[in-house]
């Protein structure tokens, strides 16, 4: 399911990126730019969204808070691509602006969904030296992570995920809760 989702998200993102680029290019040339400058300016807009997203993704993978500048530039890039697309459709009124803005919305939405899939996949499959060896610790980690992202696994889902009983899942959830209440660095093993 994750693979087909990534495929569809990438396909929509590519189509939206092409249309969004063409809209931004038309706006840039309409307002006086030409040649290589007109070609490059739209690339800087979507490139900014990409670069900021990559910094945020890297921060998630290494377990640190993303820098405020990355978040700021992500939102500035989103605003810029949306503005360029709205400006392209402006001459056709409100409906024209909405229709022209759609590729930017689809591009940013699909790109951010893809980044979320990559980030969540990285968290589900730890490969660092801190990799968890035993199934109980894996389950505790998975449950804590689900709580951290505000989508706690249910007892049933936790049990199914690890092929264990619901009683076992309940004990894992209790263990995770008790570890969270201990001071930093004193988790029970």
Q: Nearest to residue 28, comparing CAs of 39, 16, 15, 44?
A: 39
Q: Which of 103-112, 123-132, 137-146, 156-165 has the lowest mean pLDDT?
A: 123-132
Binned at pLDDT 50, 70 and 90, residue 123 comes out as low
pLDDT recorded at residue 186 = 45
Binned at pLDDT 50, 70 and 90, residue 170 comes out as very high
Task: Say yes or no to pLDDT of 183 above 80.
Answer: no
Percent pLDDT > 70 in the chain is 86
**In the chain, where are the structural domains located?**
2-122, 135-181
Looking at beta carbons, which pairs linking 166-174 to residues 24 or more positions away fall under 8 Å?
A: 169/139, 172/136, 172/139, 172/140, 172/143, 173/143
Binned at pLDDT 50, 70 and 90, residue 49 comes out as confident
Mean pLDDT of 161-180: 88
Percent pLDDT > 90 in the chain is 21
Mean pLDDT of 47-76: 85
Mean pLDDT of 88-102: 89
């Amino acid at each position: 399911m994750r693979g087909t989702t990534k495929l569809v998200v990438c396909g929509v993102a590519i189509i939206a990126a092409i249309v969004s680029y063409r809209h931004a290019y038309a706006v840039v040339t309409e307002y006086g730019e030409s040649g290589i400058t007109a070609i490059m300016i739209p690339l800087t807009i979507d490139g900014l969204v990409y670069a900021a997203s990559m910094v945020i993704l890297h921060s998630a993978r290494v377990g640190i808070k993303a820098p405020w500048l990355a978040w700021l530039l992500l939102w500035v890039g989103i605003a810029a691509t949306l503005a360029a697309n709205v400006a392209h459709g402006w001459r056709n009124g409100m409906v024209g602006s909405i229709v022209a803005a759609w590729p930017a919305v689809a591009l940013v939405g699909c790109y951010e969904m893809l980044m979320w899939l990559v980030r969540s996949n990285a968290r589900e499959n730890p490969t660092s030296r801190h990799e968890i060896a035993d199934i109980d610790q894996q389950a505790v980690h998975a449950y804590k992570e689900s709580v951290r992202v505000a989508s706690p696994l249910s007892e049933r889902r936790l049990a199914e995920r690890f092929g264990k009983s619901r009683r076992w899942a309940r004990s894992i959830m209790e263990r995770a809760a008790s570890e969270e209440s201990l001071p930093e660095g004193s988790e029970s093993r």
